[in-house]
Chains A and B, each alone.
Chain A
Amino acid sequence: MLNFVDSVQEAVAGIKDGSTVMIGGFGNAGQPFELIDALLECGATDLTVVNNNAGQGDQGLALLIKEGRVKKMICSFPRQSDSWHFDAKYKAGEIELELVPQGNLAERIRAAGAGIGGFFTPTGYGTTLAEGKETRFLNGKWQVFETPIHADVALIKALKADGKGNLVYRKTARNFGPIMAAAAKHTIVQVSGIVPTGGLDPENIVTPGIYVNSIVQVAGSGAGATNGKAA
């Protein structure tokens, strides 16, 4: 069921304590800042968050972590020059970290959306990140069994939606958006523009509307709007 909602507050209102929340974005590109701000405001806590990083600077996911709303991060690259809020929580033992090689993270998310029960991948074989996992020698390589990452909610950012919830993205801000949209039970999208049904070329649609539940238009979050927020 697709809903167009009027505000980011309304869009995130149903997110419950203890939810697993996927948040799109790679660094600040594609990070749905306004939805994250609304999630912070709504007070949901005890969250497991899936993102490539663990927040940068004093905004978005970093603030969610600072305010103690995140009990666990599943990500590939938490440590950055400006990840001070995550760093502090991690060093204080106040946040759990599941570190996942980035391609395994992406494929585990994709697998969830595609109904795959797990897969073997060569990435990580022989490393500490594969410890305790089943391995098999397949196609001439040792491979590690990885399981899907499902989520209750995905918060993503796209450029435009049409009336059917079909989405297009912009440049490298696409990143995790399409796979997270498919992996979550409830996908909430912030877009900079909504066009009438038929206003997007069907050949160019990246995320079909079947994966999308809520759409909210956020003024000024479109083309290059992450400029001022680039790290």
Chain B
Amino acid sequence: MSLTETSIKTSETPLGRDDLARLVAKDIAPGSFVNLGIGQPTLVSNYLTDEQNITLHTENGMLGMGPAAEGDEIDGDLINAGKIPVTELPGASYFHHADSFAIMRGGHLDICVLGAFQVSATGDLANWHTGAPGAIPAVGGAMDLATGAKDVFVMMTLLTREGASKIVESCTYPLTGVGCVTRVYTDKAVFLTGPDGVTVRETFGCTLEELQELVPVPLKAASGVGSAA
């Protein structure tokens, strides 16, 4: 596939946060067990359909998590990893923290979706700490999720506010996990990462050539461009 291939562009404009969440949701295989990280990844739950039959895991000890609780549903004993009150769906289960992280570490989760500061060409993830002097570090379950889930999807904007690519040759922020990220969903493209480098599945509002100008690692076009994976 040549770098000038244009059919890889599946949207004339960059994707907004909700469109990106919709795309991630569509890519989750029916019947999957999924953990959605705090922040942007949480939006994905808005676009999962009943037909997909996805079971959501929350690190604080629950499978079968439902939508955010409202009004009378709010119960301080029923919260998600972001400490937001949520609801339980029929078939939900509760378990203690060691079991909850055994579910992650043991490779039982199909997918986790996380935010990131940086992802390296080989799928290293940096998402927990800027390493800035004086910053108070807090890691939570990020390292466990990154290491344990069968597939680690990252959702982020491609560029920092200063215009630097968050896909990098090697992470400059402290690592969360080594070689763990399998896909990166950004406003400008979907990237597949792994030991063989970075493959672009599709682009939004730019050609692969334009994308390559923004990203400092060699990009390849995926074969079978245009089809959802």
Contacts and interface: CB of A to CB of B under 8 A. Distances in A.
A173 B77 contact: yes
Nearest to B78: A171
Q: Which of A87, A109, A128, A223 has the most CB of B within 10 A?
A: A128
Given A101-B143, A127-B143, A230-B79, A79 B101 contact: no
Interface string B153-187: 00000000000000000000011111000000000
Contacts of A230: 74, 76, 79, 83, 85
B88 interface: yes
A190 interface: no
Interface stretch (A6-14, A23-31, A37-45): A23-31
Contact of B97 (A121, A122, A175): A175
B101 A103 contact: yes
B37 interface: no
A191 B213 CA distance: 61
Contacts of A227: 74-76
Contact of B176 (A26, A127, A170, A228): A127
Interface string B82-111: 010100100000111110111011000000
A123 B97 CA distance: 15
A179 interface: yes
Given A102-B144, A103-B144, A126-B177, A175 B60 contact: yes
Interface residues of A, number: 58
A78 B104 CA distance: 22
Contacts of A127: 143, 174-178
B61 interface: yes
A60 interface: no
Interface string A41-82: 000000000001000000000000000000000001111100
Contacts of A229: 76
Interface residues on B, range: 35 or more
Interface string B125-169: 000010000101111111110011000000000000000000000
B51 to A, nearest CB: 27
Given A79-B137, A126-B178, A172-B61, A101 B144 contact: yes
B216 to A, nearest CB: 22
A231 B174 contact: no
B202 interface: no
A175 B175 contact: no
A224 B105 contact: no
Given A127-B176, A175-B60, A179-B98, A103 B141 contact: yes
Interface of B: 58-62, 74-79, 83, 85, 88, 94-98, 100-102, 104-105, 124, 129, 134, 136-144, 147-148, 174-178
Interface of A: 26-30, 52, 76-80, 86-87, 90-91, 97, 99-107, 109-110, 121-129, 142, 169-179, 206, 223-231
Question: Sorted from nearest, which 9 A-B pairs have the closest CB atoms?
Answer: A226-B76, A103-B101, A103-B144, A126-B178, A27-B83, A106-B97, A110-B98, A79-B138, A101-B143
Given A29-B77, A179-B96, A224-B75, 19 more contacts: A26-B60, A26-B97, A27-B83, A77-B139, A80-B83, A91-B136, A99-B138, A102-B59, A102-B144, A103-B104, A104-B144, A107-B102, A123-B105, A125-B177, A172-B62, A177-B96, A224-B76, A230-B85, A231-B83
